[in-house]
Amino acid sequence: MAEAALRAPRAGAAAAPLLAVNNLEAWYGESHVLHGITFDVAPGEVVTLLGRNGAGKTTTLRSIIGIMGKRTGSVTFDGAETIRMPSRSIARLGVGYVPEERGIFASLSVYENLTLPPIVKPGGLSVDQIYELFPNLRERSGSQGTKLSGGEQQMLAIGRILRTGAKLLLLDEPTEGLAPVIVQQIGRTIERLKGEGFTIILVEQNFRFAQTVANRHYVVEQGKVVDMIPNEVLDQNIDKLHRYLGV
Amino acid sequence: MITIFGVPSAALFGQLLLGLINGSFYAILSLGLAVIFGLLNIINFTHGALYMMGAFVAWMLLNYLGIGYWWALLLAPLAVGFVGMLIERNYIAPLSFTNQRQSFVLIGASALGFLLLFYGLRIGPTAAFAGAAAIGVAAASVYAWKRPSQTSTVHVDHLYGLLLTFGLALIIQGLFRNEYGVSGLPYSIPSQLSGGQQIRIFDAPIMFMPNYRGWVIVASLVVCMATWFIIEKTKLGAYLRAATENPTLVGAFGVNVPLMITLTYGFGVALAAFAGVLAAPIYSVNPNMGADLIIVVFAVVVIGGMGSILGSIITGFALGLVEGLTKVFYPEASSTVIFVIMVLVLLVKPAGLFGRAS
């Protein structure tokens, strides 16, 4: 596949990518997990990384935020090369990360969890706006973070990075293991965030869900991006996608 | 004379008071250990040596610079806290670095410094050793500032930290022993706190309470409660608790976790130094004072539960009292009672009374 096909469609001069990942490789200790990931994301876009278990989707997000032990290649965010930065500096450029395991702190209350990530850029949501988005969190603000239900924990994990002013959100399987009604609520939230201009990278197993929110889909296989499917033509490519995902 | 359970009240309350004093030191020291263990995941064996260093800094301030007790109470923890931060940056943090270049700079500069000071300038062995360590740390700090090392994401077994800090503790103690001997140096009670009160109930004298001992109990209670408040109730404490659970994620939110770890270690050992200054007028200032105390404090930490803040405070005071009571009613067991309790607690609740099993 030609390199150019993996790029965002450039509609005029305006769409310089917010995030450009070039030939990214990463290792867990001795094991080589990413073998040259290349893709980019335009400002305000929602893209998904689809792929089988172990394809390297989560590792790609971890590499973008900088919490992999060893990584090479190039990751530029907002014009800045981040490959040699520690994760705290990458976060301070305006990248918000929601890990797959959600990372809610047991020794902190819901409110403390929500206000923990420091504000890195102006323009983030206020605590009240986050409570409006996720009313459950307001009711339970005094509870211990890990006493929340799985869905509420996911809302908390997303909510707390909306406060920081991050422009790029990395969401790792936000719908995993959640009831359909909660998945819908998360879907509506992502729609709304997209409407407010957030740029989102979504790792998903569930492409039916991904289809409802994303502009484009990147297919990851064995540590490489092997295909890019715009959301408009997802239905025509459904057989191809089934082959990729092995379902 | 009033007797309680066949024991004269003065003896009973006297021992309880002594127990509370010991408990104050157990509480402050185990609190520092708990804070350090929580965030750094190492058992800090230098704690006793730095407690001793706190007492010595107070003694040095008085005898070399004429600075008295009250200033020492502030300056000694600051000085020892700074030494602690250097220890953390140059000895403990490199345990989890991806490469050991900074350590080679440290070792090389220390060795060259020793040769220069001892053979070149003919400075005495203790001073030359301390000077060489300072030169090594300075060189490594400059190097680390120019070329910061990467911390490995691979978990380092805390046995290494324990062994390293144990070695450092022996070195620090040895240096002070070389220079000041083991007979102990006097440090007098500040004049504002000399004397004492006869405590009476219904006009009957119960016990005599020296003012300084009352001050030690109050000061350590205040410091323990303030530390607990900072950790459990403030934003700063929330960062600390979160980083204790998941330092990688807290870093991924934009927080400078390595700096936080260094400051936390500095704070933990500053607590030890504060206890050392409090102890200076009660016990004599002696290079072995930390080594004697720290074994008991480790037992206290194990009983309370590794890393539990409130647990270490409560257990510290409580075990001091238990020890005092044992001295009255069964003196033969007074020096082993804490260890008997430790064994029993480990058998029944291995994570400690206040610890969370992981």
pLDDT tens per residue across span A41-100: 999 999 999 988 888 999 999 999 999 878 899 999 998 999 988 899 999 999 999 999
Q: What is the pTM of this model?
A: 0.88
The answer to whether the Cβ–Cβ distance between A68 and B153 falls below 8 Å is yes
CATH superfamily, domain at A1-94+167-176+202-247: P-loop containing nucleotide triphosphate hydrolases (3.40.50.300)
Partner residue opposite A69 with nearest CB, options B153, B244, B249: B153
Residue B243 CA to residue B229 CA, distance in Å, equals 17
The answer to whether the Cβ–Cβ distance between A103 and B241 falls below 8 Å is no
ipTM for the predicted complex comes to 0.89
**Does the pLDDT at position A10 exceed 50?**
no
Chain A: residue whose CA lies nearest to B153: A69
Is some CB atom of chain A closer than 8 A to the CB atom of B294?
A: no
The answer to whether the Cβ–Cβ distance between A69 and B154 falls below 8 Å is yes
Is some CB atom of chain A closer than 8 A to the CB atom of B354?
A: no
pLDDT digits (tens, 9 = 90+) for A199-218: 999 998 887 888 888 999 99
The answer to whether the Cβ–Cβ distance between A91 and B98 falls below 8 Å is no
Residue B85's pLDDT band (cuts 50, 70, 90): very high
Mean pLDDT, residues B92-96 taken together = 85
The answer to whether the Cβ–Cβ distance between A108 and B256 falls below 8 Å is no
* Helix/strand/coil for A37: strand
The answer to whether the Cβ–Cβ distance between A108 and B242 falls below 8 Å is yes
**Does the pLDDT at position A2 exceed 80?**
no
The answer to whether the Cβ–Cβ distance between B254 and A120 falls below 8 Å is yes
Of chain A, the percentage scoring pLDDT greater than 70 comes to 94
Residue A176's pLDDT band (cuts 50, 70, 90): confident
Please give the helix or strand (H or E) that residue A225 lies within, else none: strand A224-230
Residues in chain B within 8 Å Cβ distance of A106: 245
State chain B's maximal CA–CA distance in angstroms: 72
Is some CB atom of chain B closer than 8 A to the CB atom of A43?
A: no
Per-domain residue ranges for chain A? 1-94+167-176+202-247
Mean pLDDT, residues B336-344 taken together = 94
**Does the pLDDT at position A159 exceed 50?**
yes
The answer to whether the Cβ–Cβ distance between B239 and A116 falls below 8 Å is yes
Higher pLDDT, A147 or B204: A147
Partner residue opposite B254 with nearest CB, options A105, A108, A118: A118
- Per-residue pLDDT at B100: 84
Is some CB atom of chain A closer than 8 A to the CB atom of B251?
A: yes
Q: Are strands A46-50 and A216-221 parallel, antiparallel or unpaired?
A: parallel
The answer to whether the Cβ–Cβ distance between B238 and A116 falls below 8 Å is yes
Is some CB atom of chain B closer than 8 A to the CB atom of A127?
A: no
Partner residue opposite A67 with nearest CB, options B241, B252, B254: B252
- Average of per-residue pLDDT values in chain B: 89
Beta bridge partners of A221: A224
User: How far is A119 from chain B, CA to nearest CA, in Å?
Assistant: 9
